Amino acid sequence: MTGARKVLVTGGAGFIGANFVRYWSDKYPSDRIVVLDALTYAGNRANLESVEDRDTYRFVHGNILDPAVIGDTMQREAIDTIVHFAAESHVDRSIHEPDAFIQTNVIGTNNLLMAARKHWIDSDSAPANHLFHHVSTDEVYGTLGPGDPAFTEQTLYAPNSPYAASKAASDHLVRSYHHTFGMQVTTSNCSNNYGPYQFPEKLIPLMIVNALTGKALPVYGDGSNIRDWLYVDDHCRGIDLVMNKGRVGATYNIGGNNEWRNIDIVNQLCSSIDAAFAANEQLAVQFPQAPAAKGQKTESLVCFVADRLGHDWRYAIDATLAESELGYKPEEDFESGFQLTLNWMLQNEGWWRAVMDGSYRDWISRNYSAES
């Protein structure tokens, strides 16, 4: 698409969505960005602090389960581009309470597609161009064994958790709107992200917070499970490439070429925290409960706990298509991306404490006018 776009970012107050909004508004400053987010436990307006004052930005507190708020936002803002991040995203939660995943990830995605069809395809005042970009996951492909080739876009879907199944359903819905109604869509399926603003329930931020506060580091099973880690900015660049250069109707895998066993991640994290405390005496004052503050090894907190039900053993992304067609290449390796993440967590204790106890809401109401 050419010219300034009017972009609706669903789930823009979550981890990847907020990083994407910052990335996009820096790179395309004349685009209008409207964030639609229900502010669940995982959505924090504090994540969007750096864009809150921009004229081109607006926040809408709304749920994708509410067709009226979607339709109203699309109409009022003359939206021509949707980047769809909003989802329930945590596998453990989907094992305990799958219903919310079906609601948001399946019904919510369908609501957005219905609204997009109404405004972009069935309307007399439809924009000249439109694009629906759907952000999905490698988990739709199921699990790999030790010698299996990495997931390609041709790998058959075999989702194993309620989360993965709900994302698979949403991928199929997006595909069907292209095939049946001619909607201009793209989809990206991505591996495990990490970086600033990730809610401390996911492996890396949870382990950092627990290590700094002297709590156990719970490794599921024997810790041999493998994930393919991708720094969040590399994911944002990948989405940008798919949206601007990708074939309409196509799906692209985005990965980090960074397969790590969970136990190796946790051990690496422990030694990086020990090294950070050794290099900066102030950290022992700031985090007195951390083993590293008492001359002990962070590794002493590691404990092996009962495995996740249905725990997928290995994910690995083959991003050859995105590399060859779009020129995609991740810029951070795990060491550099992890150091950026650890430094950010050390410097933003206020953020992680506030999002974990919900007090960021008070912080936002002190700093910003009422939500729209």
User: Which option in ligand NAD, ligand DAU, none does residue 162 bind, with CB closer than 5 to 8 A by kind?
Assistant: none
DSSP state of 359: T
Distance in angstroms between the alpha carbons of the first and the last residue of the chain: 28
Catalytic residue among 139, 233, 234, 259: 139
* CA torsion through residues 187, 193, 198, 199, sign: positive
Question: Are 140 and 169 in contact, with CB atoms under 8 Å apart?
Answer: no
Q: 8 in helix, strand or coil?
A: strand
Residue from 57, 163, 231, 315 carrying the catalytic annotation: 163
Closest approach, Cβ 125 to ligand NAD, in A, equals 26
Exactly one of 5, 45, 133, 167 binds ligand NAD (CB under 6 A); which one? Answer: 167
Active site residue 138: yes
Pick between residue 219 and residue 230 the one whose CB is nearest to ligand NAD: 230
Residues 154-213 that bind ligand DAU (CB under 6 A): 191-192, 202-203, 206
Give 94 or 184: the residue with its C-beta nearer to ligand NAD: 94
Q: What does the alpha-carbon distance between residue 26 and residue 211 come to, in Å, rounded to a whole number?
A: 34
Cα 25–103–111 angle (5° rounding)? 60
To the query of whether residue 281 is one of the catalytic residues in this protein, the response is no
Q: In 10 A of CB 241, how many CB atoms? A: 20
Interatomic CA distance for residues 342 and 264, integer angstroms:
16
Decide if 88 is catalytic: no
The C-alpha atoms of residue 45 and residue 64 are separated, in whole angstroms, by: 17
Rounded Cα distance, 1 and 186, in Å: 13
Q: Which residues pair with 60 in a beta bridge?
A: 36
CB 231 within 8 A of CB 337: yes
Of 37, 138, 228, 332, the active-site residue reads 138
CB of 280 to ligand NAD, least distance (A): 29
Can you tell me which of 89, 105, 111, 143 binds ligand DAU, judged by CB under 6 A? 89
- Kindly tell me which of 108 and 291 has the beta carbon lying closer to ligand NAD: 108
Among 64, 79, 241, 283, indicate the residue that binds ligand NAD (CB under 6 A): 64
Q: Binding residues for ligand DAU, per CB under 6 A?
A: 89-91, 137-139, 191-192, 202-203, 206, 218-220, 225, 227, 262, 308, 315
Which residues are tagged catalytic?
138-139, 163
Q: Binding residues for ligand NAD, per CB under 6 A?
A: 10-11, 13-17, 37-40, 42-43, 63-65, 85-89, 104, 108, 135, 137, 167, 190, 192-193, 199
